[in-house]
């Protein structure tokens, strides 16, 4: 949630989670990730209760800024999330605009079961083995069944199909059209969802070779959420492909003035 704030640079989950479960020096982590503040904590589910303990630390000063303890009913998970985001932004003394306040208060779903399924999707998509991707896709379907209007679930489904097509677990000609349909459905529900724009950009780039369409989708994803790591990843892939295309063009013109046609194997 906090990564959506333009005034705050948030390290992506994939980078920060390297330190999960490890006894690590916070100053070392701060230097590695180039951050001034670290949020540590743990979350425990005890029956129908959710226990969350957190600590916000200023790394250069080695000083605690804030600590929070929440013991709530599991069905209050959204309220806990929103209160955490609010407390952190207040203790960082961020100057929030009305638009920022709206972003922090936004809920993509009111269905807690769907939200739990989405957390499982994200867990499995961060472990991109064929088996884990298939499980992630299954959980995305269950999230959509629980809430057919859940835009983030469709975006996650799109990413799952894209990965499965990339690794040829599902034939690309089958996987990528499904990835595109899921991304478009997510955007029909919420056109401001960076994850959906990035997912559509990946399809346009890797499968359809729609360079201008991929460029638009990637830029839109980064514009909506400058801290969204996957959006920057797809954008870097677009830049790499465009560099290869220009190189091929230069080589073609030097040999005879015509741009060569590029086969899929060259990508």
Q: How confident is the model at residue 104 (pLDDT cuts 50, 70, 90)?
A: confident
Please indicate, yes or no, whether residues 145 and 82 belong to a single structural domain of this protein.
Answer: no
Please indicate, yes or no, whether residues 8 and 95 belong to a single structural domain of this protein.
Answer: yes
Output the domain CATH number for residue 130.
Answer: 1.25.40.10
| Mean pLDDT for the stretch of residues 53-58 | 92
Please indicate, yes or no, whether residues 195 and 121 belong to a single structural domain of this protein.
Answer: yes
Q: What is the pLDDT of residues 75-97, one digit of tens each?
A: 788 888 888 888 888 888 888 78
Contacts of 99 (CB under 8 A, 6+ apart): none
257 part of a folded domain: no
Of 134, 188, 173, which Cα lies nearest the Cα of 157? 134
What does pTM read for this prediction? 0.68
Measured distance CA(105)–CA(207) in Å, rounded: 36
Q: Burial letters for 90-103: b for 16+ Cβ neighbours within 10 Å, e otherwise? A: eebeeebeeebeeb
User: How long, in residues, is the chain?
Assistant: 267
Other C-beta atoms closer than 10 Å to the C-beta of 244 total: 13
Q: What is the DSSP letter of 149?
A: T
Mean pLDDT lowest among 99-103, 187-191, 263-267: 263-267
Measured distance CA(256)–CA(161) in Å, rounded: 41
Q: Find out whether 77 and 55 touch, Cβ atoms under 8 Å.
A: no
Q: What is the pLDDT of residues 122-172, one digit of tens each?
A: 999 988 899 999 999 999 999 999 999 999 999 999 999 999 999 999 999
Of 105, 134, 157, the position where a domain reaches its end is: 105
Positive or negative torsion for Cα 17, 78, 55, 11: positive
Q: Find out whether 237 and 213 touch, Cβ atoms under 8 Å.
A: no
pLDDT at 208 exceeding the cut of 60: yes
Please indicate, yes or no, whether residues 96 and 199 belong to a single structural domain of this protein.
Answer: no
- Per the model's pLDDT, the better-predicted residue between 203 and 43 turns out to be 203
* DSSP for 141-169, written as a single string: HHHHHH-TT-HHHHHHHHHHHHHHHHTTS
Terminal Cα-to-Cα distance of the chain (whole angstroms): 35
Please indicate, yes or no, whether residues 99 and 154 belong to a single structural domain of this protein.
Answer: no
* Predicted local distance difference test score (pLDDT) of residue 259: 35
91 part of a folded domain: yes
Output the domain CATH number for residue 17.
Answer: 3.40.50.10070
Please indicate, yes or no, whether residues 99 and 190 belong to a single structural domain of this protein.
Answer: no
262 part of a folded domain: no
Q: How confident is the model at residue 20 (pLDDT cuts 50, 70, 90)?
A: confident
Of 79, 105, 131, the position where a domain reaches its end is: 105
| Range of the structural domain that residue 197 is part of | 112-245
Q: In this structure, what token pair is assigned to residue 60?
A: 């250069």
Please indicate, yes or no, whether residues 85 and 171 belong to a single structural domain of this protein.
Answer: no
Q: How confident is the model at residue 112 (pLDDT cuts 50, 70, 90)?
A: confident
* Predicted local distance difference test score (pLDDT) of residue 261: 37
| Mean pLDDT for the stretch of residues 231-246 | 87
* Predicted local distance difference test score (pLDDT) of residue 263: 38
Please indicate, yes or no, whether residues 123 and 219 belong to a single structural domain of this protein.
Answer: yes
Please indicate, yes or no, whether residues 163 and 190 belong to a single structural domain of this protein.
Answer: yes
Please indicate, yes or no, whether residues 20 and 37 belong to a single structural domain of this protein.
Answer: yes
Please indicate, yes or no, whether residues 99 and 118 belong to a single structural domain of this protein.
Answer: no
- Per the model's pLDDT, the better-predicted residue between 252 and 90 turns out to be 90
Q: How far is CA 148 from CA 109, 153, 185, 196, 250, in A?
A: 10, 9, 10, 16, 49
- Strands 49-58, 37-46: pairing kind: antiparallel
* Predicted local distance difference test score (pLDDT) of residue 247: 57
Q: Find out whether 198 and 234 touch, Cβ atoms under 8 Å.
A: yes
* Predicted local distance difference test score (pLDDT) of residue 17: 81
Q: How confident is the model at residue 221 (pLDDT cuts 50, 70, 90)?
A: very high
Q: How confident is the model at residue 55 (pLDDT cuts 50, 70, 90)?
A: very high
86 part of a folded domain: yes
User: Can you tell me whether residue 55 is helix, strand or coil?
Assistant: strand
Measured distance CA(60)–CA(26) in Å, rounded: 9
Measured distance CA(247)–CA(245) in Å, rounded: 5
Measured distance CA(201)–CA(224) in Å, rounded: 14
pLDDT at 252 exceeding the cut of 50: no
256 part of a folded domain: no
261 part of a folded domain: no
| Mean pLDDT for the stretch of residues 95-110 | 79
Of 52, 78, 105, the position where a domain reaches its end is: 105
- Per the model's pLDDT, the better-predicted residue between 46 and 244 turns out to be 46
Q: What percentage of the chain reaches a pLDDT higher than 90?
A: 52
219 part of a folded domain: yes
Q: Find out whether 263 and 248 touch, Cβ atoms under 8 Å.
A: no
Please indicate, yes or no, whether residues 125 and 56 belong to a single structural domain of this protein.
Answer: no
18 part of a folded domain: yes
What is the number of domains present in the chain?
2
């Amino acid at each position: 949630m906090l990564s959506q704030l333009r005034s705050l640079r948030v390290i992506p989950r994939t980078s920060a989670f390297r330190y999960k479960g490890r006894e690590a020096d916070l100053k070392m982590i701060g230097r590695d990730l180039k951050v001034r503040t670290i949020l540590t904590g743990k979350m425990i589910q005890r029956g129908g209760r959710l226990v969350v303990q957190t600590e916000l630390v200023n790394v250069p000063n080695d000083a605690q800024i804030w600590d929070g303890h929440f013991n709530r009913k599991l069905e209050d998970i959204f309220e806990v999330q929103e209160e955490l985001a609010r407390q952190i932004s207040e203790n960082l003394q961020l100057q929030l605009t009305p638009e920022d306040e709206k972003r922090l208060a936004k809920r993509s779903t009111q269905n807690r079961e769907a939200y739990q399924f989405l957390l499982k999707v994200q867990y499995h998509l961060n472990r991109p083995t064929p088996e884990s991707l298939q499980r992630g896709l299954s959980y995305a379907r269950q999230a959509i069944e629980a809430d057919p209007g859940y835009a983030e679930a469709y975006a996650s489904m799109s990413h799952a199909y894209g990965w499965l097509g990339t690794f040829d677990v599902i034939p690309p000609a089958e996987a990528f059209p499904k990835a595109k349909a899921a991304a478009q459905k997510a955007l029909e529900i919420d056109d401001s969802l960076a994850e959906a724009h990035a997912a559509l950009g990946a399809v346009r780039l890797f499968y359809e070779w729609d360079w201008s369409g991929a460029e638009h989708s990637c830029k839109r994803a980064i514009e909506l959420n400058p801290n969204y790591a996957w959006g920057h990843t797809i954008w870097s892939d677009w830049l790499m492909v465009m560099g290869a295309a220009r190189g091929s063009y230069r080589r073609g013109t030097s040999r005879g003035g015509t741009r060569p046609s590029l086969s899929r194997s060259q990508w």
